[in-house]
Amino acid sequence: MSDEKFAIECINLSKNYSGNLNEREKSAVKNLNLVVKTGEVHGFLGHNGAGKTTSIKMIVKLIMPTSGDIKIFGRNIKNADYLDKTAYIAESVNFYQFLTPAEIIDFSISLNPVSFAAIGRSDLKSKTEAALNETGLYKWKDTAVEKFSKGMRQRLALALCLLREPDLLILDEPGSGLDPDGISLLLKIIEKFKKMSKTVFFSSHHISEIERVCDRVSIIKYGELLETIDLSDYNKKSASVEARYLELMKSEKSEL
């Protein structure tokens, strides 16, 4: 399964921790076999502590797996070239507090010119303005980020992603800190990436977000992948993803 039909492949992926933890906490992710197809929006659904963030951090190489392999567009993540095609937004985003959005964008481009190489210098200003407009931040472009809420910082991170147009966008709980308007904007941006044939992989514990934009969703519980659902099949059957999710969780409902 190692060709570019798959944007992400996790193969028997595991992460174990040591220390003063209970047995469940020590095994954060257990033999995860997950495939995200190129060009799809794929949701990663699970309760708090299910292993979503740990899995994503391994995929973007922030932490190393205890065992298993990860491939991005058919290449093992030991080859760092895939990072040029990938953008990641964590649940909590931090920027230099004294900089403005316009300055942060300029600084990001200077730090990572390869990722923004497709943008000509003559187009940079107009595309920056368009990204800030689309995320509702243009009127704040000259305001120091220290005055921003968590949701506004999430919007700024999304503006950087819009500017880069990565082939793979990975979001960890992107709705965290966003108000209803922010959630609506986020889902529109995800749908825009989908129309551009980009791949989006995002974690959430909110089923409504998943159902609105995803092609498929993988459900994880305590580090183990339980099922991957094709939402088009569910729509044909008028079935409920929420009902299936609760059914899968039922055996340990009291522990959620």
Confidence of residue 251 (pLDDT cuts 50, 70, 90): low
Token representation of residue 232 = 């088009």
Q: Which residues 6+ apart lie within 8 Å of 28 measured at CB?
A: 15, 16, 17, 51, 54, 223
The pLDDT tens digits of the residues spanning 179-206 come to 888 888 889 999 999 999 999 999 988 7
* Cβ contact 59:10 at 8 Å: yes
pLDDT computed for residue 8 by the predictor: 96
CA 91, chain centre distance (Å): 9
- Long-range Cβ contacts of 59-65 (<8 Å, 24+ apart): 59/8, 59/10, 59/170, 59/201, 60/86, 60/88, 60/170, 63/15, 65/13, 65/14, 65/15, 65/29
Residue 5 has pLDDT above 70, yes or no: yes
Q: Which of 142-151, 171-180, 227-236 has the highest mean pLDDT?
A: 142-151
Least confident of 29-33, 139-143, 164-168: 164-168
Q: Higher pLDDT residue, 19 or 5?
A: 5
Separation between Cα atoms, residue 163 and residue 89, nearest integer Å: 14
Mean pLDDT of 37-64: 93
* Cβ contact 167:85 at 8 Å: yes
Residue 219 has pLDDT above 90, yes or no: yes
Residue 253 has pLDDT above 50, yes or no: no
Mean pLDDT of 210-215: 89
Domain-wise residue ranges, the chain: 6-255
Domain 6-255: give its CATH code.
3.40.50.300
Q: Higher pLDDT residue, 146 or 125?
A: 146
- Quick one: what percent of the chain has pLDDT higher than 90? 51
